[in-house]
């Protein structure tokens, strides 16, 4: 069966990372903060937000990964090295955001720490590290961001299916993600 003639038209798929600057993005003029923004879900979200016109602050613990992320993102991005489990690092992050942009329209709290260890062999240090980042760090990230968030702004917290269905060796990670779900999914902001 012969194919239909194309009449000179080529089908082109839309890639937001290649969109012309003259097209206004959905997030044009918005300010976003993404914790864990140098790799994985955080980095992919930063790419999407920048492509849609947002100015994005990314954070992470490893400066080399932040530097690589900034080079890949190119424009409308600032990297702030820090550990969300350390309140002084969060204070420094949000002071910089306030000084440079004055507000946050979108906060993606994207914690990602965990160890693979059966319950019987999980150490106190492993437990504390996981909860310090995933639960404590996220809690205080949201708390410290709220004063910079005007009406209509948005908080998104990256969770995990592990919070409702644990897997072998991931009990500490599952518990830390479940803590986030219980606190934020129920709207306990006050």
CB 111 within 8 A of CB 159: no
Does 6 map to a domain? no
pLDDT band at 187 (very low <50, low <70, confident <90, very high): low
Considering only CA atoms, which of 93, 85, 86 is closest in space to residue 137? 85
Does 44 map to a domain? yes
Please count the structural domains in the chain. 1
The CATH number given to whatever domain includes residue 118 is 3.40.50.720
Does 140 map to a domain? yes
**Mean pLDDT for the stretch of residues 120-124:** 90
Does 59 map to a domain? yes
Beta bridge partners of 58: 34, 79
Considering only CA atoms, which of 146, 162, 144 is closest in space to residue 154? 146
Does 1 map to a domain? no
Q: What residues have CB less than 8 Å from 148, skipping those under 6 apart?
A: 94, 97, 98, 102, 103, 104
Give the C-alpha separation, 36 to 129, whole Å: 15
pLDDT at position 113 is: 79
CB 104 within 8 A of CB 145: yes
pLDDT tens digits along 5-55: 445 555 544 454 554 454 557 899 999 999 999 999 999 999 999 999 999
- Please give the structure tokens belonging to residue 121: 């062999």
**Mean pLDDT for the stretch of residues 145-173:** 82
Q: 76: domain range?
A: 25-184
To the nearest 5 percent, what fractions of the chain are helix, strand and coil?
Answer: 45, 10, 45
Does 54 map to a domain? yes
pLDDT band at 114 (very low <50, low <70, confident <90, very high): confident
In the sheet that holds 154-157, the strands lie side by side as: 77-81, 55-60, 31-34, 106-109, 154-157
- Predicted model pTM: 0.81
Q: Residue for token digits 């290649």?
A: 18
Does 88 map to a domain? yes
Cα separations in angstroms, 94 against 3, 8, 29: 58, 52, 18
Does 96 map to a domain? yes
């Amino acid at each position: 069966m012969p194919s239909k003639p194309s009449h000179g038209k080529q089908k082109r798929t839309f890639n937001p990372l290649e969109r012309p600057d003259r097209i206004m993005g959905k997030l044009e003029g918005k300010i976003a903060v993404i914790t864990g923004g140098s790799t994985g879900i955080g980095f992919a979200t930063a790419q999407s937000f920048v492509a849609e016109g947002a100015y994005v602050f990314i954070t992470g613990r490893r400066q080399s990964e932040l530097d690589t992320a900034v080079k890949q993102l190119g424009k409308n991005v600032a990297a702030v090295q820090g550990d969300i489990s350390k309140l002084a690092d969060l204070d420094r992050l949000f002071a910089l955001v306030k000084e440079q942009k004055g507000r946050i329209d979108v906060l993606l709290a994207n914690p990602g720490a965990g160890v693979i260890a059966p319950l019987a062999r999980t150490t106190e240090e492993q437990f504390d590290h996981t909860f310090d980042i995933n639960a404590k760090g996220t809690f205080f990230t949201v708390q410290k961001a709220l004063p910079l968030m005007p009406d209509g702004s948005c908080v998104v917290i990256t969770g995990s299916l592990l919070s409702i269905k644990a897997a072998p060796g991931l009990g500490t990670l599952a518990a830390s993600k479940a803590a986030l779900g219980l606190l934020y999914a129920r709207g306990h902001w006050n």
